[in-house]
Amino acid sequence: QWTSTGEEKSSSAGLASGIGYGAGFLIYFFIFMYGAQVMRGVMEEKSSRIVEAVLSAGSSTQLMMGKIAGIGLAGLTQFSIWSLVLVWGSKSGIEIAGMTLDGTFLTPTILVSFLMFFLLGFLLFATLYAGVGAMCNTAQEAQQFAVPLMLCNVIPMMLLSLVIMEPNSSFAVIMSLIPLFSPVLMFIRICMETPPLWQIGLSWFFMSISIWIALKTAGKLFRIGILMHGAAPSWKTLFKVLRQSD
């Protein structure tokens, strides 16, 4: 490749895909781990009746946002440490599979995207998990609602090979703009061959809109479901709660 000064610069597609896949897997893993942690935390407080005492000092919306923010900040701290280690490793010349990690590969676009996609992805999934947790009392009850969310997190990992082979194909562009898939698929595209900035910005915009919709939806589930006890909830119960007016 030619640099802006006219000099030759070599790069490895294998290294780019390897780093992109590894970083994309970290985004997937931490979003799933911390999102599920939000759901478990909500269910534990609900089943132990701690939530009833907490609600006496604040609203259900404040409780939900506090739970998401607390776990999210813990995750962001750990994620920031990973980012710093990645930058330090690139400057120290660490070798991966016989190839030296070039610090110039970690452009500001990649580093900012690494943090942004984790933050937006976590907020989206954690909000949905919080709504599910508020409707359920045990992990067994939550499983039927958590499985679709889990699939939305796993499907992008199954599509990685297709996106890596053709990062700028119509399929890759469309799939990477779907909010639930963007954290992994758009990021791998950025690592392989940085797409136009408008596509990155559009994915952030779609994810932000989806987070707002998820907050409205999960807020209603949380407000009504957090004090519900007794029979196990069903999909019919969930849709009935969503149809209720504010």
Q: What is the pLDDT along the chain (246 residues), one digit of tens a residue?
A: 444 455 554 555 565 666 667 777 878 888 888 888 888 877 777 777 666 666 666 666 777 777 788 877 877 787 677 767 766 766 655 555 555 555 556 677 777 888 888 889 888 988 888 888 877 777 777 788 888 888 888 898 888 888 888 888 899 899 999 999 999 899 888 888 788 889 999 999 999 999 998 888 887 777 777 666 666 677 777 777 777 655
Q: Is 102 helix (H, G, I), strand (E, B) or coil?
A: coil
pTM for this structure? Answer: 0.77
pLDDT score for 3: 46
pLDDT score for 4: 47
pLDDT score for 246: 54
pLDDT score for 62: 73
Report long-range pairs for 204-208 (Cβ below 8 Å, ≥24 apart).
204/116, 204/120, 206/177, 206/178, 206/179, 206/182, 207/120, 207/121, 207/124, 207/179, 207/182, 207/183, 208/120
